[in-house]
């Protein structure tokens, strides 16, 4: 009896919705539900020093530059205070990484924004009012999520001990930023 219920259930559901019960319609619906449930796998953690330094440098540069841009235009006191903290903390993490690079005796690439970061920075600079605040907070949430994965992953599996130590120190600071971001809102939203 239980087996009969499972066999009859799809037909009953579809009939109740006045939908066709043809095999092709059922397959299309199944394909849609399966595709909706499939998500992209998380990127593998960065473990090589040069890639880590390039991404960490880009992240710090973006946090500093975007925070300078919003600090000059926002009327939101919470966002202004957060931006000040970003400038201070990401300047410190850059200094910490530079010290780790010296300790390891390696040469780091000069920091440069990735294309998505440059676009987000441009969006923050050209937006006004609450649209600028929203663009900034959205970019900060994305950037900090990526930064936490970067530093946490490298702290565990990185190939250079001095950089692993720095990443291990930076990850909790990034988590604190994420916690602060969760408390920030844009006026009227």
The CATH number given to whatever domain includes residue 54 is 1.20.1260.10
Answer whether residue 189 is part of any domain. Answer: no
pTM listed for this prediction? 0.77
* DSSP character string of 146-170: HHHHHHHHHHHH-S-HHHHHHHHHH
Q: Which domain covers residue 100, as residue numbers?
A: 49-181
In total, the chain counts a number of residues equal to 189
At 90-106, the pLDDT tens digits run 999 999 999 999 999 99
Question: Is the same domain home to 31 and 117?
Answer: no
Helix/strand/coil (H, E, C) string of 43-67?
CCCCCCHHHHHHHHHHHHHHHHHHH
At 119-155, the pLDDT tens digits run 999 999 999 999 999 999 999 999 999 999 999 999 9
């Amino acid at each position: 009896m239980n087996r009969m219920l499972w066999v009859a259930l799809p037909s009953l559901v579809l009939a109740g919705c006045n939908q066709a019960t043809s095999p092709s319609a059922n397959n299309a619906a199944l394909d849609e539900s399966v595709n909706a449930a499939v998500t992209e796998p998380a990127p593998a953690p960065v473990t090589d020093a040069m890639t880590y330094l390039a991404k960490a440098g880009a992240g710090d540069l973006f946090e500093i530059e975007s925070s300078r841009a919003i600090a000059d235009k926002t009327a939101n006191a919470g966002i202004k205070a957060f931006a000040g903290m970003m400038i201070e903390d990401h300047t410190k993490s850059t200094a910490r990484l530079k010290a780790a690079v010296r300790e390891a005796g390696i040469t780091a690439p000069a920091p440069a924004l990735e294309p998505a970061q440059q676009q987000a920075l441009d969006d923050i600079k050209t937006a006004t009012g609450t649209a600028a605040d929203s663009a900034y907070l959205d970019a900060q949430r994305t950037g900090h999520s990526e930064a936490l994965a970067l530093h946490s992953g490298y702290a565990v599996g990185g190939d250079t001990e001095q950089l692993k130590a720095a990443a291990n120190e930076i990850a909790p600071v990034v988590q604190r930023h994420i916690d602060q971001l969760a408390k920030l809102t844009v006026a009227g939203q």
